[in-house]
Amino acid sequence: MDISSVGVVGAGQMGNGIAHVFALAGYDVTLTDVNEAALSRAMATIDRNIERQVARGKVTAEEKSAAMARIRTTMTLAEVGPCDLIIEAATERETVKQAIFEDLLPHLKPHTILTSNTSSISITRLASRTDRPEKFMGFHFMNPVPVMQLVELIRGIATDQDTWDKMHAVVRRLGKTAASAEDFPAFIVNRILMPMINEAVYTLYEGVGSVKSIDESLKLGANHPMGPLELADFIGLDTCLAIMNVLHDGLADTKYRPCPLLTKYVEAGWLGRKTQRGFYDYRGEVPVPTR
């Protein structure tokens, strides 16, 4: 069966970005969250971001209007169940994701494909909590979703070829590029990226450099568009810590031990841009390093 309807569970920065690109690609989207305010913010963000695309000539006003009309919101998970494809984009905690899939099961159609936007958690383990591990896979978008070209496709041990082919076709319809990753902790991008960010935090923790000098060194010395600490703030320090913990636990190698300073920032609630403080303080007109 062709995929025409898509459910997105979680209306945060990843969920609203996923809803954005699917609606523009012509899919009917149902976006759900447990928080009504989060849904309102998500729709406002989608509207604002598509309007930027209109201003740049990448999308017409008519295409924007049609895309916005394709998105409906709900706080009831059962209303997502009948979709052809469901993408879980909730917080990066395995217990939360497992609970979502278990709650969805009674409402699914036989053909519904389940996917997770997890950036690090075992796809095989998540799939085992459902009634359709053969129709379950990892569907990992990069942030910000409307801008980033890559989508990691991750097979669980039971994922069948038909599910894989359908998801690959969806990525093509979105105008993005798929990378095939095996089901190992953090897959490809975060297996490489997060240890680099963690090492940058260690460099700060040990006093080798300041926030500004570390970020400038990587931007000017390695031609990175963002410094690693700036990028960590953009991703969310809680997400960075969660991924490092998955790597450390899953691979049992001390080289993946999260830096104590990263843990301290998360414990303080300094999670980066989304809380206005992280390695930078964003409460003024210009971000200011916090160390």
Q: Which one is catalytic: 88, 190, 198, 230?
A: 190
Distances (CA, A) of 16 to 38, 85, 169, 237: 10, 16, 21, 20
Whether residue 16 lies in the annotated active site: no
Q: How far apart are CA 223 and CA 63, in angstroms?
A: 36
Distances (CA, A) of 284 to 89, 233, 273, 288: 30, 16, 12, 8
Instruction: Tell me which amino acid residue 146 is.
Output: P
- By the 8 A CB rule, do 28 and 34 touch? no
Q: Of the candidates 101, 18, 138, which has an alpha carbon nearest to the alpha carbon of residue 67?
A: 18
Q: Is residue 180 within a helix (H) or strand (E), and if so which, with residue range?
A: strand 177-181
Q: Which one is catalytic: 116, 152, 198, 230?
A: 152
Q: How far apart are CA 225 and CA 139, in angstroms?
A: 25
Q: Which one is catalytic: 16, 116, 117, 119?
A: 119
* The token pair that represents 66 in the structure block: 């049609």
Whether residue 119 lies in the annotated active site: yes
Q: Of the candidates 93, 61, 74, which has an alpha carbon nearest to the alpha carbon of residue 19?
A: 74
In what side-by-side order are the strands of the sheet with 136-141? 71-74, 28-32, 5-9, 85-88, 113-116, 136-141, 150-155, 177-181
User: Residue 114, SS3?
Assistant: strand
Q: How far apart are CA 63 and CA 60, in angstroms?
A: 5
- By the 8 A CB rule, do 122 and 185 touch? yes
- Angle between helix 228-235 and 211-221 (nearest 10): 110
Active-site amino acid positions: 119, 140, 152, 190
